[in-house]
Amino acid sequence: MESLSLNLSLSCHLLRNMNYFTIPWDNLGIGAFWLMLMAFLVALPCSQMGSFLILRRMALTGDAISHSVFPGVVIAFVLIGDLASPWLIVGAGLAGLASTVFIELIHRKTRVKQDAATGISFTALFALGVVLMESMLGKNVDLDLDCVLHGRLGLLLEEHHVEMFGTMVPQPILVMAGVALLTLVMMVIFYRVLLLSSFDSGLAASYGYKPLVIHYCLMFVVSFIVVAAFQAVGAILVIALLILPGAAAYLCSCRLKAMLFLAGLHALLSAVGGLYLHVWFNTDMAAAVVVCGGVLLLLAWLLGPVDGLMWKWLR
Amino acid sequence: MAIALETHDLTVTYHKRPVLYGIDVTVPEGSLVGIVGPNGAGKSTLIKSIMGVVPSSGGWVKVFGTPLKENLHRVGYVPQRESVDWDFPVTVMDVALMGTYGRLGLFRRPGKKEKLQAQEALEKVGMLPYANRQIGNLSGGQQQRVFLARALAQDSDLYLMDEPFAGVDAATEAAIIELLKEMRERGKTVLVVHHDLQSASEYFDKLLLLNMRLVAFGDVKEVFTPELLQKTYGGRLTILSEVADHAAKF
């Protein structure tokens, strides 16, 4: 009897709090959907390329790129003078590529190993970016450090809207959708090249694939994605979006295609969960997305069918 | 007899330090060659530079009479088992299929024919029952068999194998050598980097003795002599000289 009443009161409580799940929509209307979509569109291409970075043991290269694009953004901003200009993305992409060339040069031409070379190049370039920004732009510009570190996802609903199919869509969503689509198309086209060169670069080279060319192409695509994502979530959280989905998926799958699918799913769930955390606790949306992704990784670690701790305990 | 592989003055340097110099070898078709020499002799480097995986700083390589690039699909390379990450999310079947990628070019996807070839190759090395397993769950010997299946699926005429016997059990070793001999019977040419001198004289028809330079290349009876082995391994021959004595008794 007692347990029945407990049950009843529990369900009443749940029912009363059902609005927890509708809060974002009640508060933000379609804005909630845009925020979620934007977070997903940023996380999706990151999750796919990040999976390959993890398999190639280059996860930190994503970190390097995300920091070293900064001087490129500053220089492009000085030349163009407009923060919304697509040239900023080009400048940042070039800076990202420069940092990977820099890393390769250091570790191929000197005795310094790749991990140290990565550490050198991204910190030095990021610092260069800070120096350039403060010396060339002064401290009172639109391009501020806070924005570089945290991104502008929270400002999405205030950005310029464009009409599409009768609704007003925030412009960054269109840009990010283009980036995501392009990434997926490239990945489908080059799937086997990426698979073979990541698994067995020796065999790939014996087939006449050029490992260095593949490396730079991959780095260029990663720079491109990171730059686009960087504006939304900032330089630090973009690393999480590159690594978390792939790492979580890696714990749950034995096949590359399954891993890529699960990484995409992780991106989607992080975006949805991030929206709720953002509204429930009134926190930064980008950080909420990453926290959610971290929780999902923890779940994969505990329950993942391949490497889950729970199965090891049960055995 | 037709020539499968010819190198002339092949030289490789790492950071300006030479690791292989002036290698001149002519390997006839249908031979099973063991490449032996001490650690650091450049055995792996030799086959990597033949394949162009490691750039050479001098000399040239011809395969079936033409430069390698024109005959890439006729050459199969089997890297060391340790050179890949066995936690990689691929199945045994996926790895065998990679053997067909070279023929397919960059963009064509493997079809029915390729899958059948991969299946047959796995069958041949006794790994078909494991086709859907993730490669990390295999023993060392099984992993090596998967690598060989991938090489069979390549259907090349010349094979360069880097230590296929490293870390495998006796049963697998016997199975592999059986397979290599069968490949030779079908007219394939196989070069194998090999660590164990004791078995080298039994396994191969020809030996290539290497220690940064080519010490000797020829039929086992001609080159498996105490003098040449001494020359290859330098002074560090205690167990090895016993092997050579053993060889001398033949």
- pLDDT tens digit string along B93-148? 999 999 998 888 777 888 899 899 999 999 988 899 999 989 988 888 899 999 99
Q: Is the pLDDT of residue B236 over 60?
A: no
Average pLDDT over residues A38-66: 89
Nearest CA in chain A to B74: A207
Asked whether the beta carbons of residue B77 and residue A196 sit closer than 8 angstroms, the reply is: no
Output the pLDDT for position A49: 93
Q: Which of A230-239, A262-271, B101-110, B202-211 ranks highest by mean pLDDT?
A: A262-271
Average pLDDT over residues A150-172: 75
Identify which of A126, A120, A125 has the alpha carbon closest to the alpha carbon of residue A104: A120
Q: Could you tell me if residue B115 is inside a domain?
A: no
Where along chain A do its domains lie?
30-236
Asked whether the beta carbons of residue A206 and residue B75 sit closer than 8 angstroms, the reply is: yes
Residue A211's pLDDT band (cuts 50, 70, 90): confident
Q: Is the pLDDT of residue A28 over 80?
A: no
Q: Is the pLDDT of residue B230 over 90?
A: no
Closest residue to B102, CB basis, from A198, A202, A207: A207
Q: Could you tell me if residue B116 is inside a domain?
A: no
Q: Percentage of chain A surpassing pLDDT 70?
A: 88
Best of B56, B71, B72, B98 to disrupt the A interface by mutation (most A CBs within 10 Å)?
A: B98
Q: Could you tell me if residue B170 is inside a domain?
A: yes
Best of A207, A209, A250, A259 to disrupt the B interface by mutation (most B CBs within 10 Å)?
A: A207
Q: Is the pLDDT of residue A1 over 50?
A: no
Three-state SS letters, chain A: CHHHHHHHHHHHHHHHCCHHHHHHHHHHCHHHHHHHHHHHHHHHHHHHHHHHHHHCCCHHHHHHHHHHHHHHHHHHHHHHCCCCCCHHHHHHHHHHHHHHHHHHHHHHHCCCCHHHHHHHHHHHHHHHHHHHHHHHHCCCCCCCHHHHHHCCHHHHHHCCEEEECCEEEEHHHHHHHHHHHHHHHHHHHCHHHHHHHHHCHHHHHHCCCCHHHHHHHHHHHHHHHHHHHHHHHHHHHHHHHHHHHHHHHHCCCCCHHHHHHHHHHHHHHHHHHHHHHHHHHCCCHHHHHHHHHHHHHHHHHHHCCCCCHHHHHHC
Residue A261's pLDDT band (cuts 50, 70, 90): very high
Closest residue to A55, CB basis, from B88, B104, B136: B88
For residues B130 and B144, what is the distance between their CA atoms, to the nearest angstrom? 13
Task: Calculate how close chain B gets to A163, using CA atoms only, in Å.
Answer: 38
- Is pLDDT larger for residue B211 or for residue A233? B211
Q: Is the pLDDT of residue A267 over 90?
A: yes
Q: Which of A125-129, A178-182, B16-20, B38-42 ranks highest by mean pLDDT?
A: A178-182
What topology is assigned to A30-236 in CATH? ABC transporter involved in vitamin B12 uptake, BtuC (1.10.3470)
Output the pLDDT for position A299: 93
How many domains does chain B divide into? 1
Average pLDDT over residues B57-70: 87
Q: Could you tell me if residue B172 is inside a domain?
A: yes
Output the pLDDT for position A220: 83
Asked whether the beta carbons of residue B94 and residue A198 sit closer than 8 angstroms, the reply is: no
Task: Calculate how close chain A gets to B94, using CA atoms only, in Å.
Answer: 9
Output the pLDDT for position A217: 86
Give the A window 141-180 contacts with B, CB below 8 Å: none
pLDDT tens for each residue of A185-198: 999 999 999 999 99
Asked whether the beta carbons of residue A203 and residue B77 sit closer than 8 angstroms, the reply is: yes
- Is pLDDT larger for residue B202 or for residue A29? B202
Task: List the CATH number of the domain containing B77.
Answer: 3.40.50.300
pLDDT tens for each residue of B213-227: 888 888 888 888 888
Task: Calculate how close chain B gets to A184, using CA atoms only, in Å.
Answer: 15
Is A192 touching B (CB cutoff 8 A)?
Answer: yes
Asked whether the beta carbons of residue B90 and residue A256 sit closer than 8 angstroms, the reply is: yes
Q: Is the pLDDT of residue B249 over 60?
A: no
Residue A297's pLDDT band (cuts 50, 70, 90): very high
pLDDT tens for each residue of A78-121: 888 776 677 777 787 788 888 888 888 888 888 888 888 888 88
Nearest CA in chain B to A212: B53
The whole domain housing B207 covers 3-83+157-248
Output the pLDDT for position B172: 86
Residue B14's pLDDT band (cuts 50, 70, 90): confident
Closest residue to B53, CB basis, from A190, A206, A306: A206
Asked whether the beta carbons of residue A206 and residue B72 sit closer than 8 angstroms, the reply is: yes
Lowest mean pLDDT among A32-36, A148-152, B180-184: A148-152
Residues of A in Cβ contact (< 8 Å) with B91: 254-255
Lowest mean pLDDT among A52-56, A259-263, B80-84, B235-239: B235-239
ipTM: 0.83
Output the pLDDT for position A210: 85
Closest residue to A255, CB basis, from B72, B90, B101: B90
Output the pLDDT for position A84: 66
Residues of B in Cβ contact (< 8 Å) with A259: 89
Q: Output the average pLDDT for chain B.
A: 86
Task: Calculate how close chain A gets to B221, using CA atoms only, in Å.
Answer: 33
Asked whether the beta carbons of residue B89 and residue A250 sit closer than 8 angstroms, the reply is: yes
Q: Is the pLDDT of residue A170 over 70?
A: yes
Task: Calculate how close chain A gets to B199, using CA atoms only, in Å.
Answer: 27
- Is pLDDT larger for residue A69 or for residue B179? B179
